[in-house]
Amino acid sequence: MYSSSLFRLAVAATAALAVHSHAARTADDDLDDTPLPLVIWHGLGDAFNTDGIKQVGALADAIHPGTFVYTIALGADANSDRQATFFGNVSAQIESVCEALAAHPILSTAPAVDAIGFSQGGQFLRGYVERCNFPPIRSLVTFGSQHNGISKFRDCGSTDWLCKGAMALLRFNTWSSTVQSRLVPAQYYRDPADYDSYLEHSNFLADINNERELKNTQYKENIAKLTNFVMYLFEDDTTAIPKESAWFSEVNGTEITPLRARKIYQEDWIGLRELDRKGGLKFRSITGEHMQITEQVLNETMIDFFGPFKRTFDSDAAYVDSTFESEL
């Protein structure tokens, strides 16, 4: 959650492997198609122009030559963009991203785009899908994102005063209107032990998860229209707490309720069940701490889920069909 720039990348070596793998895989694809643009939203404490984010864009172009990469920035420079990951109104930030992408001369004319969300950028991109989704996202990939919120605020590094200031305010009064409209991590804070306060005061997450009594049907329709929603969980994550939030699991003390056993899925509040039935909801895991993404994982992700508009995708539908009765 606090560092999205810890990518273990060796782009030159990966590119050679990626081009070979891509050529072997795309025999049935329309190779004359230009790959869809790729939108990237970085995480808390990161910025749009860090080396790690740039390397991800370079890798996308190496695997699918001609990929136009757009990295979301909420500030004119790196410092203001990083500050916006801690301070700001998430709903207003998503609205600004909706406007920027809809007005972009390349993105707005593409048939669709693909997207990667790192840490909190993942749930923010999902908010984009639910609330506007123009241009529409085809494949949404999230790494260690807090889709079911966080229940604990992590300590900051000893010299990260921006983080320290934000965390101090968060702990002071999480549910105040000031904190909920100004402190970014507070807007996806969700403690099952204080669920009523969350439902009443949450400025962002309770809405996009459709947890309140009045449901927004557009959210469900937009998520169900995704071709792929790929959720990566970091098995050794001690930064985003609970780590199982990356898969929409509910963690209450020592009890873990997986997504398919929860009402958000069974009553299909945001379209996850419908997407799952057609094989588009994909659960993936990575051995390692938060945002420790190997080059192999990024390489395989881009090969499997990005590329030309007319390409086909492997479906997880067979797995879904065999597990629906037992898990529901």
Minimum mean pLDDT range among 82-86, 150-154, 191-195, 287-291: 150-154
> What local confidence, expressed as pLDDT, does residue 317 receive?
58
CATH topology of domain 7-327: Rossmann fold (3.40.50)
Q: Catalytic one among 119, 145, 202, 249? A: 119
Cα(165)–Cα(82) distance, integer angstroms: 14
DSSP letter, residue 87: B
Active site residue 201: no
- Structure confidence at residue 154 (pLDDT): 64
Q: Are 74 and 86 in contact (CB under 8 A)?
A: no
Q: What is the pLDDT of residue 168?
A: 72
Alpha-carbon distance 90 to 86, whole Å?
10
Residue 318 above 60 pLDDT?
no
Among this protein's residues, is 147 annotated catalytic? no
Between 286 and 33, the more confident residue is 286
| Domain boundaries along the sequence of the chain | 7-327
Q: For residue range 168-184, what is the model confidence (pLDDT) as tens digits?
A: 777 678 899 999 999 99
Indicate which residue of 46, 81, 237, 276 is catalytic.
Answer: 237
- pLDDT of 324 reads 46
- Residue 290 annotated to the active site: yes
Task: Please state which of the ranges 8-17, 237-246, 266-275, 317-326 shows the lowest mean pLDDT.
Answer: 8-17
More confident residue, 7 or 223: 223
Q: 257 vs 106, 140, 195, 293, CA distance in Å?
A: 42, 23, 15, 26
Q: What is the pLDDT of residue 316?
A: 75
Global pTM exceeds 0.95: no
pLDDT reading at 17 higher than 70: no
